[in-house]
Amino acid sequence: MFNYLRKRFTSHIRERSRRRARLVSKDGRCNIEFGNVEQSRFVFLIDIWTTILDLRWRYKMTIFISAFLGSWFLFGLLWYVVAYIHKDLPEFNPSINHTPCVENINGLTSAFLFSLETQVTIGYGFRCVTEQCATAIFLLIFQSILGVIINSFMCGAILAKISRSKNRAKTITFSKNAVISKRGGKLCLLIRVANLRKSLLIGSHIYGKLLKTTITPEGETIILDQVNIEFVVDAGNENLFFISPLTIYHIIDKNSPFFHMAAETILQQDFELVVFLDGTVEATSATCQVRTSYIPEEVLWGYRFAPIVSKTKEGKYRVDFQNFSKTVAVETPHCAFCLYNEKEARAKEKKGFDNPAFVLSEVSETSDTKM
């Protein structure tokens, strides 16, 4: 009993470590870390727009709030300095005929409120700039222009973050597992993909990359070597009519990297199949990409997907997503090599072969019996 539990625990730890090592997670996030980058992190400030868009929401909202509060407080200090230099504050005991640069600024708090009213163009009318100071007029113009720039940039970043096509990609889902079975007389690797919205992805294109470690004839070890995997549907792999779930398949022929794998050895392989779906969002005309990956434990040999599309009595087509990732065991050759050898053997039996070296010689019967 103890040995059985130890084996189960060891296999569980090995499986978890193997799943953790995948490059692309099931939801499409890339598990990669950059180390010892020579360039300074300040280079990201050159493309500040992309940097802001890539930030997480908590950091973006922190920058959003800090930008406005910081600018309001900074200009509040400047308005206070102007009032202090011009001796408009109550502690200077200005005369009755004294005309301040800004009406009703009595301290730092009122200067901050005036800065807020100026930048967001509220304009309550209680505090206002007079003609007395050219410095105050220049500061008013400068803050108004800078406030428009901050408003445009930060509000545009929030709007762009909300409308990014990355969110549209979350409504595209792939099956939990890939399956290998016969389709159209050929051994194929099949994956199911579905669009959860009724709006289409225009010009959709689907393809795959097989990531594995290879050793070149020169002895060089290439980690994460990429091999192209062509996926097709019955109508091709481009311009998909993606309104209902589709089953895409890769034909395992002699040019496929899966050709030399078998049902008994596929779990011993070390690879990661990454599947990509590119398309244009119909509502926004923005391009998006959906990614997922499959490791050997998620490739089921000898299974096919259960049907999920049916027709109701009212004539509508119904998609049952309960069976979206459900698989059914089917009779499947245990390797592609065996399937093609079996086909060749059957073809030879039907065709037949002639032996050109065979010569039929007729023997004449003669009687040498003498009476």
Question: Residue 5 phi/psi, 5° resolution?
Answer: -65, -35
Q: Are residues 157 and 172 in the same domain?
A: no
For the chain, what is the mean pLDDT? 82
Within-domain flag for 20: no
pLDDT of 142 above 60: yes
Q: Are residues 189 and 158 in the same domain?
A: no
Residue 195 belongs to a domain with what CATH number?
A: 2.60.40.1400
Q: Are residues 153 and 175 in the same domain?
A: no
User: Residue ranges of the alpha helices (H) in the chain?
Assistant: 2-20, 48-54, 57-85, 108-119, 134-162, 165-169, 336-351
- Model confidence over 267-284: pLDDT tens digits? 888 899 999 988 888 877
Within-domain flag for 4: no
Residue type, 203: G
Within-domain flag for 2: no
User: Where do we find the tokens 């993909």?
Assistant: 193
CA–CA gap between residue 327 and residue 325 (Å, rounded): 6
Last residue of a domain, one of 135, 163, 191: 163
Within-domain flag for 26: no
- Model confidence over 296-315: pLDDT tens digits? 999 999 999 998 888 888 88
Last residue of a domain, one of 106, 140, 163: 163
Q: Are residues 155 and 188 in the same domain?
A: no
The whole-number pLDDT of residue 370 equals 45
The H or E element spanning position 192 is strand 186-195
User: Which residues are registered as beta bridge partners of 319?
Assistant: 309
When divided into structural domains, the chain yields a total of 2
Q: Are 224 and 30 in contact (CB under 8 A)?
A: no
CA–CA gap between residue 361 and residue 129 (Å, rounded): 125
The whole-number pLDDT of residue 364 equals 54
- What lies within 8 Å, CB to CB, of 28 at 6+ separation is 169, 290, 291, 292
Q: Are residues 234 and 291 in the same domain?
A: yes
Q: CA 140 → CA 75, 76, 105, 126, distances in Å?
A: 9, 11, 14, 16
Q: Are residues 234 and 212 in the same domain?
A: yes
Q: Are residues 145 and 252 in the same domain?
A: no
Within-domain flag for 36: no
CA–CA gap between residue 48 and residue 59 (Å, rounded): 14
Q: Which of 9-13, 14-18, 100-104 has the lowest mean pLDDT?
A: 14-18
Within-domain flag for 31: no
Strand pairing report for 271-281 and 201-215: antiparallel
Within-domain flag for 25: no
The whole-number pLDDT of residue 41 equals 65
State if pTM tops 0.85. Answer: no
Q: Are 327 and 304 in contact (CB under 8 A)?
A: yes
Q: Are residues 125 and 216 in the same domain?
A: no
Question: Residue 283 phi/psi, 5° resolution?
Answer: -75, -35
Q: Are residues 220 and 340 in the same domain?
A: yes
User: What is the mean pLDDT of the segment spanning 175-192?
Assistant: 91
Q: Are 103 and 193 in contact (CB under 8 A)?
A: no
Last residue of a domain, one of 112, 145, 163: 163
The whole-number pLDDT of residue 371 equals 42
Q: Are 362 and 212 in contact (CB under 8 A)?
A: no
Q: Which long-range contacts (CB under 8 A, 24 or more apart) does 120-126 make?
A: 120/147, 121/147
Q: Are residues 125 and 226 in the same domain?
A: no
Q: Are residues 329 and 216 in the same domain?
A: yes
Range of the domain at 131: 51-163
Residue 58 belongs to a domain with what CATH number?
A: 1.10.287.70
CA–CA gap between residue 115 and residue 105 (Å, rounded): 11
Within-domain flag for 371: no
Q: Are residues 151 and 300 in the same domain?
A: no
- Model confidence over 56-100: pLDDT tens digits? 889 999 999 999 999 999 999 999 999 999 998 988 888 888 889
Nearest to 111 by CA among 95, 127, 100: 127
